[in-house]
Each structure stands twice: as structure tokens, then as C-alpha cells.
Amino acid sequence: MRAPFHEPGGNAFLGSVNQHRTVSTGVNKIRITGNRESAPDNAVEMPLRVRYAETDQMGIVHHANYLVWFEASRSEYCRVHGINYRQMEKDGMMLPLAEAHCQYVSPAFYEDEVIIKTWVISLKRSILRIGYEAWRGTDLLARGETVQVLVNTVTRRPMRFPAEIEEKFMRMQAPE
């Protein structure tokens, strides 16, 4: 069982809200299962230091920056696994986002040392699904998920992942 999360000052913040795992609305239905597991052991970890520019007047990291952090950690995942995304773009492939989701558990503050954990959830044909967690020490700050589609740069249509790249994304452990 995971202990409740606290911000540095000791107050639970959004923890109680995030127990509402299943939500249903008339317009946009998003259901997130309650038995969400944490990052697997082979997740790639990327450390970062919170920049002043990433805060907002609430005194916490602005929520949009988590998507930027997830993206940076995705790049780190690629580097660790020998995937050269810069070269992929030169080779006429792009990985735009089709979907992004982030659940904010506890706020991050200026100068915090944050670890982003990143792992591949699935890769099917042209669709890559990646999971993320942001941690400050033993505090979970956020969980996220993105869906990306491999697209041919010229036609802008989805294309299958080349086998070699797919294999690297799906490798359970980073090569030594």
C-alpha cells in the first residue's frame, strides 16, 4: 500500500481527490482504473531540477510543464535504448501526440529535484503508448500517459514502426 502523499510543508494536497478513480460524465468520459500499478523496475529515470520559469503565481509548477518533462524523459528513454529520434525525423518519420493524460498528485516547487520514470506500455503497428511518473524523493507528484502515432513526414499519414525501432522500444532492459 502506498502512503498518502505530502508536499514539503506536510499538507496532503490533492491526494484525497485522486481517489476518485472512475469518472463518468455526459460529455467526455475518462475512466482510470483504481488498481493502477506503479512504474516497472525497468523504467528509465531522468532527473531534472525545477526551473523558476516553470512555476506560476500559485507558487507551484504550472501543470503544462509536466507534458514537457514527460517528453524530455521520453527522449532519454530513446537515448538509453539506442533509438535516435533526431535521425528518425531526418528519415521522414514523426511521432506527434494523439493523446496525453496527466494526473496531478502533489505539487512540485521551484528547485525541487524531480525524477521522471518512463516506460513503454505498448506499441502496436503505428501507435506507441508510454507511461510516466514524476517523483520527488518518495513523493509521487504526477502520473501520465501519452499516445503517439508514427507518421510519415511527407504524407502525414500513420505508418507502421520499422521492426528495428519497434524492437528497441519493446526491449525490456536497456542494452549495456
Half-sphere exposure of 66 (CA within 13 A, CB side): 28
Amino acid 10 reads: G
Residue 33 binds to a copy of itself (criterion: CB under 8 A): yes
| Pairwise CA distance, residues 54 & 66, whole Å | 10
Distances (CA, A) of 134 to 19, 73, 164: 18, 10, 29
In three-state secondary structure terms, 98 is strand
Half-sphere exposure of 173 (CA within 13 A, CB side): 2
Q: Closer CB to a copy of itself, residue 2 or residue 20?
A: 20
Residue 71 binds to a copy of itself (criterion: CB under 8 A): yes
Q: Which region, judged by CB under 8 A, interacts with a copy of itself, from 70-78, 159-167, 168-176? A: 70-78
Going by C-alpha positions, the residue among 88, 63, 85, 65 that lies closest to residue 74 is: 85
Q: C-beta of 150: minimal distance to a copy of itself in Å? A: 10
Q: Which region, judged by CB under 8 A, interacts with a copy of itself, from 146-154, 159-167, 168-176? A: 146-154
Residues 76-105 that bind a copy of itself (CB under 8 A): 76, 79, 85-86, 89, 94, 96-104
Q: Which of 81, 117, 136, 143 binds a copy of itself (CB under 8 A)?
A: 143
Residue 37 binds to a copy of itself (criterion: CB under 8 A): yes
Residue 113 binds to a copy of itself (criterion: CB under 8 A): no
Neighbours of 134 (CB within 10 A): 27
Q: Which of 1, 2, 3, 11 binds a copy of itself (CB under 8 A)?
A: 11
